[in-house]
């Protein structure tokens, strides 16, 4: 069951049977010997060894129970079967009694443990007559993937009972009671599952404009060698995660599903995917069908960038067809946007910018307007996503100004002031959302608050933050406008949380804004020093674990950490800038000044003094 550490005594016990089991693997068609795990004949069970890393195209199948296998081998074999590529867990069910196989639902959840589960025989059970045996599965739980395939960090202890009985007719041991769902170690989870973004549209906008809807990524985990494309499409049609549902919508009519009998979806040689739907979608209009196709295209390209066109059908009727290029005209997606400039605060505390091109050696220039003239010394800035307006916090953190990035523009009175006693108890770096509203937190210990300023000019609205435990030290709104990343400080620790932005607008009244259901995005870090959104569902974070060194890494907004997410080391990070466009390089500031990270190499220092760096947003 995917433990990360080797177990010598388990290997020794299994050695005698290795050759025979290897032959069985070949008979079952497994391409790698490691795909068929060995099982001990007797004794208590220990952590199940992880299957070594393998080619993503190689499918690994488990072995059925051997004749007269003892209870320990039955449990061991069952746990190992859970990590195979068997689409319906048919082999795993062979370790269960008939009734247990019928009631066990592996699709309900996947529990991810730090190591594979430890299985210890329960010596207190009634084993006198030799027909009853029990084990307890234990481990350190990291996360749970629910029936909607959504990942949630759930750190804590794991303990579940497994009961076995001996079949009266065959005399074979089988599991007759077990927890629902699947459990495995972290390394097996990373080998078996892959993260994919499915897409919906923001429904919490209040600006009343007729602009394109904003596409919102809803990350899920799918089994990467078990018809992943079909899994992803079914999940998309099933609707968004419960956490995201209050702020997004789907263009697929309620009840839409794949046409009955559709088990495999495969693009043709022109990279076009035809998706047959049931009759629930038959009556949609052309505009709505385009939105449905855009949802599919954005989702499928997250899994397989080669998909270039989607055609939707219902029965014998062709509904619509949409190419990847046209999908960008149907909805706005953060990862499709590319900033014209990179912005930073120079050594004179002015806002300057560099063209966002492949060259990193262009000279910086002051931005047009008052914020680039040095009228106010600045320590942080946020630029709107259209790059027409900027908001700057003064060097002492006490005042927030908003100004146009147009030559000759002037700077009026501050739109917000903080009365915090020290500079560290005043305003955070601001952030613009997709609607053009400005977000900032006041760290005043006497009255800490999160504010949103409509269009950057309206009266500050206090944002409700139910469930917030600590003080907000940093704010960054996602490009989709429905999620916000907050660095929250408490008891000397700084943690990253993701909240859902909800807006309640009543006719003729100001919108009430709340950040709901904060979820940890970095449960393993105790100090987050800088962060930035780096894609539709991904952030880049500088921080450190307890007793560890500072590191820079990518994290998913659901709290998962993709394999290979750690970036080259960097110390004393003051700020970090990432774009939703994955091809745009990372920038950061430290005591060494302005640095950038070209693809596949280490951080490089630019000859530009800088104290903070930003992309629009």
Domains of the chain, residue spans: 8-193, 203-330, 343-614
The DSSP symbol for 107 reads G
pLDDT in tens, 590-605: 988 999 998 767 899 9
Q: How far apart are CA 587 and CA 576, in angstroms?
A: 6
pLDDT in tens, 444-484: 999 999 999 999 998 999 999 999 999 999 999 999 999 99
**pLDDT > 80? residue 148:** yes
Q: What is the mean pLDDT of the chain?
A: 88
Q: How far apart are CA 584 and CA 562, in angstroms?
A: 19
- Transcribe 495-518 into DSSP letters: EEEEEEEEEE--TTSPPEEEEEEE
Mean pLDDT calculated for residue range 398-419: 95
Distance (Å) of CA 611 to CA 438, 572, 614 = 22, 12, 11
Least confident of 95-109, 346-360, 584-598: 346-360
Cα radius of gyration (the chain): 27
Instruction: Determine the pLDDT at residue 527.
Output: 95
Instruction: Determine the pLDDT at residue 161.
Output: 97
Please answer whether residues 566 and 551 qualify as being in contact, where contact means their C-beta atoms are separated by less than 8 angstroms.
Answer: yes
**How many other CB atoms are there within 10 angstroms of residue 515's CB atom?**
25
pLDDT in tens, 295-351: 999 999 999 999 999 999 999 999 999 999 999 999 999 888 889 999 999 999 999
Q: How far apart are CA 199 and CA 202, in angstroms?
A: 10
**pLDDT > 70? residue 506:** no
pTM (two decimals)? 0.87
Torsion-angle region of 265 (φ positive above 0: left; ψ -120 to 50: alpha; else: beta): beta
Q: How confident is the model at residue 515 (pLDDT cuts 50, 70, 90)?
A: very high
Instruction: Determine the pLDDT at residue 123.
Output: 65
Instruction: Determine the pLDDT at residue 617.
Output: 93
**pLDDT > 80? residue 84:** yes
Mean pLDDT calculated for residue range 271-285: 96
Second CATH level (architecture) for the domain 343-614: 6 Propeller (2.120)
Mean pLDDT calculated for residue range 387-416: 96
**How many other CB atoms are there within 10 angstroms of residue 239's CB atom?**
19
Strand partners, 494: 489, 527
Q: How far apart are CA 474 and CA 416, in angstroms?
A: 17
Please answer whether residues 613 and 597 qualify as being in contact, where contact means their C-beta atoms are separated by less than 8 angstroms.
Answer: no
In the chain the first and final C-alpha atoms are separated, in Å, by: 43
**pLDDT > 60? residue 56:** no
**pLDDT > 70? residue 15:** no
Instruction: Determine the pLDDT at residue 336.
Output: 87
**pLDDT > 90? residue 128:** no
pLDDT in tens, 522-574: 998 999 999 999 999 999 999 999 888 899 999 999 999 887 788 998 999 99
Q: Which helix (H) or strand (E) holds 291?
A: helix 286-303
**pLDDT > 90? residue 76:** yes
3-state helix, strand, coil in the chain (%, to 5): 15, 35, 45
Residue labelled with tokens 């900027």: 390
């Amino acid at each position: 069951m995917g433990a990360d550490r080797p177990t010598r005594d388990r290997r020794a016990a299994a050695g005698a049977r290795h050759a025979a089991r290897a032959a069985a693997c070949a008979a079952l068609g497994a391409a790698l010997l490691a795909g068929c795990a060995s099982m001990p004949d007797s004794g208590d069970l220990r952590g199940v060894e992880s299957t070594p890393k393998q080619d993503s195209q190689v499918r690994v199948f488990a072995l059925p129970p051997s004749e007269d296998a003892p209870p320990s081998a039955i449990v061991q074999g069952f746990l190992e079967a859970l990590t195979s590529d068997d689409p319906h867990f048919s082999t795993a069910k062979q370790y269960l009694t008939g009734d247990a196989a019928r009631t066990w639902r592996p699709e309900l959840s996947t529990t991810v443990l730090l190591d594979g589960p430890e299985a210890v025989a329960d010596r207190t059970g009634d084993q006198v007559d030799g027909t009853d045996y029990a084990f307890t599965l234990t481990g350190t739980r990291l996360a749970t993937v629910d029936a909607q395939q959504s990942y949630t960090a759930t750190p804590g202890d794991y303990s579940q009972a497994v009961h076995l009985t001996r079949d009266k007719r065959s005399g074979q041991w089988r599991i007759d009671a077990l927890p629902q769902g699947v459990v495995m170690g972290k390394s097996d989870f990373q080998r078996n599952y892959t993260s994919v973004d499915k897409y919906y549209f923001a429904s919490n906008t209040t600006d009343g404009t007729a602009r394109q809807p904003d596409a919102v990524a809803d990350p899920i985990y799918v089994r990467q060698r078990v018809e992943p494309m079909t899994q992803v499409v079914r999940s998309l049609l099933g609707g968004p995660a419960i956490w995201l549902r209050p702020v997004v919508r789907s263009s697929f009519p309620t009840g839409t599903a794949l046409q009955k009998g559709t088990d495999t979806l495969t693009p043709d040689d022109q990279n076009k995917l035809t998706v047959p739907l049931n009759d629930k979608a038959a009556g949609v209009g052309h505009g709505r069908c385009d939105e449905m196709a855009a949802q599919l295209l954005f989702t499928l390209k997250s899994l397989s960038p080669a998909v270039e066109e989607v055609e939707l059908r219902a029965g014998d009727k062709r509904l619509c067809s949409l190419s990847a290029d046209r999908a960008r005209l149907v909805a706005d997606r953060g990862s499709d946007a590319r900033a014209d400039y990179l912005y930073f605060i120079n050594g004179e505390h002015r806002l300057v910018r560099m063209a966002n091109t492949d060259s990193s050696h262009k000279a910086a220039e002051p931005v047009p307007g008052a914020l680039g003239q040095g009228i106010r010394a600045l320590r942080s800035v946020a630029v709107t996503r259209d790059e027409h307006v900027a908001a700057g916090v003064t060097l002492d953190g006490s005042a927030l100004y908003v100004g146009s990035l147009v030559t000759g523009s002037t700077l009026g009175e501050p739109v917000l002031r903080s009365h915090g006693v020290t500079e560290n108890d005043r305003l955070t770096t601001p952030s613009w959302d997709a609607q053009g509203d400005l977000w900032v937190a006041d760290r005043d210990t006497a009255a800490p608050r999160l504010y949103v300023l409509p269009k950057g000019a309206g009266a500050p609205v206090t944002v409700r933050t139910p469930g917030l435990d600590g003080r907000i030290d940093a704010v960054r709104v996602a490009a989709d406008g429905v999620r916000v990343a907050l660095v929250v400080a408490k008891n000397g620790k700084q943690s990253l949380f993701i909240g859902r932005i909800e807006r309640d607008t009543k006719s003729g009244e100001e919108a009430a804004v709340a950040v709901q259901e904060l979820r940890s995005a970095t449960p393993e870090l105790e100090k987050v020093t800088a962060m930035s959104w780096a894609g539709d569902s991904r952030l880049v974070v500088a921080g450190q674990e307890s007793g560890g060194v500072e590191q820079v890494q990518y994290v998913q907004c659901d709290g998962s950490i993709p394999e290979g997410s750690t970036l080259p080391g960097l110390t004393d990070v003051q700020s970090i800038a990432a774009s939703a466009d994955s091809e745009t390089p990372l920038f950061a500031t430290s005591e060494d000044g302005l640095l950038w990270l070209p693809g596949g190499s280490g951080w490089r220092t630019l000859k530009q003094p800088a104290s903070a760096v930003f992309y629009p947003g």
